[in-house]
Chain A
């Protein structure tokens, strides 16, 4: 399965970024091999005046991901991810590798709704 994890860096040891739309980068991981396929620099999202979540959801969709693991997800981002058919898991912590382990262990809850308001951070 192709999973995107939001991160402040670009490797499995990098800390996750709890923000989605304004995360520093999106790390695409193939859970079969456990290896990183692609890292997308989200500078545009970090610097966006508005609509960072929408743009980020678009980027995740473009990567072909089936699943997103992050800290929090706001309303417009969530709507966009849902429309793109991407499963959203919030509440991840630690490193990218930790977040993937949490996903595999089933300790992350699949979000049925946004868990923060827009512009929360």
Chain B
């Protein structure tokens, strides 16, 4: 079973929930940190790193001898990563999304693909929890191919927790696609509610079952609760607005390891998620996609 922890708004506590949930599950899970632009689960889990590999996008390389400058590749490329000039073909790897279409349409077989690294996938263990982290190189604009490379490490033999990036755009969708369940973490503020509504729209469009977790409960107003009640959305957990929680987090410690009153919140959440997973047929959706290096 794959449980994705997502949110519309950033800073609502996705990683807090992912890490504490991981620690509270009876069967130790695998945690995939798919927030590749700012991975931070390792700050709490402090894993022993066992390995790392580069991940990237397949970009075209044009064989100038075979190329007849017909222009089919550039015409196909909606990202304008190829320019066919009278003098030759230019490739702009930074514009390429790695779809591979240019190599397919080239009538001369002049285009081969080569890997352009965009980041690193790193894996390790923190106690019984296995952590896989994606880290996008500075300056890279496309997170989804790296997120798919992280998800390709998902194991079929244990529960997988995905820590998704914030927002509702391509990186988030790449992270939560193929999950069996999505937990949307929010906070009871107008910003939290606004972005929760967007996230709900997104997971509904993807057809994924989901529920909400409220962080810093009691700090704002009741509108998130009213929204969930009106929409028939279950609130699976509420973490109170509590200075001790902030202090433990700020020290890079895990809440359930140190705070007795927090443990039952995540214990109940873990049991409920496993229960929901047991009721669903096992996932058939591929977590990574057939070409982990970068197909949209």
Interface string of A43-60 (1 = CB under 8 A from B): 000001111101101100
Q: Chain A residue with minimal CB distance to B88?
A: A83
From B78, B83, B95, give the contact of A58 (CB < 8 A).
B83
Interface size in chain A (residues, C-beta < 8 A) = 17
A51 touches B90 (CB 8 A): no
Asked if B85 and A61 sit within 8 Å, CB to CB, the answer is yes
Residue from the list B81, B87, B88 in contact with A51, Cβ < 8 A: B81
- Pair B83/A54 contact, Cβ less than 8 Å: yes
Known: A51-B92, A58-B74. A84 touches B80 (CB 8 A): no
Residues of B within 8 A of A79 (CB): 90
Choose one: B78, B79, B83; the contact of A57 (CB below 8 Å).
B83
**Chain B positions 46 through 83: 1 when the CB is less than 8 Å from some CB of chain A, otherwise 0:** 00000000000000000000000000001000111101
Inter-chain CA distance A83–B87, complex, in Å, is: 7
Assess A55 versus B85: contact at CB under 8 Å? Given A76-B92, A80-B90. no
**Residue from B79, B80, B86, B95 with most neighbouring chain A CB atoms (10 Å):** B80
Q: Is the CB of A54 within 8 A of B87?
A: no
A57 to B79, CA, bound (A): 14
Contact between chains at B79 and A49 (CB < 8 Å): yes
Residue of B nearest to A60 (CB): B85
Cβ-defined contact, A51 with B85, below 8 A: no
Query: Which residues of the partner chain A approach B173 to less than 8 Å between Cβ atoms?
Result: none
Q: Which residues 144-180 of B have a CB within 8 angstroms of A?
A: none
Does chain B have a CB within 8 A of A34? Answer: no
CA distance A52 to B81 in the complex (A): 10
Cβ-defined contact, B86 with A50, below 8 A: no
A58-B74, A76-B92 known; A51+B79 contact, CB < 8 A:
yes
Q: From residue B97, how far is it (CB to closest CB) to chain A in Å?
A: 9
Most chain B beta carbons < 10 A, residue from A49, A52, A83? A83
Q: Does the CB pair B85–A83 fall under 8 Å?
A: yes
Q: Is the CB of B80 within 8 A of A55?
A: yes
Asked if B79 and A80 make an inter-chain contact with CB atoms under 8 angstroms apart, the answer reads no
The reply to whether the CB of B248 lies closer than 8 angstroms to some CB of chain A is: no
Query: Does B84 touch A at the CB level, under 8 Å?
Result: yes
Closest chain-A Cβ to B74's Cβ sits at a distance in Å of: 6
CA distance A84 to B92 in the complex (A): 15
25 contacts between A and B (CB under 8 A): A48-B80, A49-B78, A49-B79, A51-B79, A51-B80, A51-B92, A52-B80, A54-B83, A55-B80, A57-B83, A58-B84, A58-B85, A61-B85, A76-B95, A79-B90, A80-B83, A80-B85, A80-B90, A83-B87, A83-B88, A83-B90, A84-B85, A84-B86, A84-B87, A85-B87
Residues of A within 8 A of B (CB): 48-52, 54-55, 57-58, 61, 64, 76, 79-80, 83-85
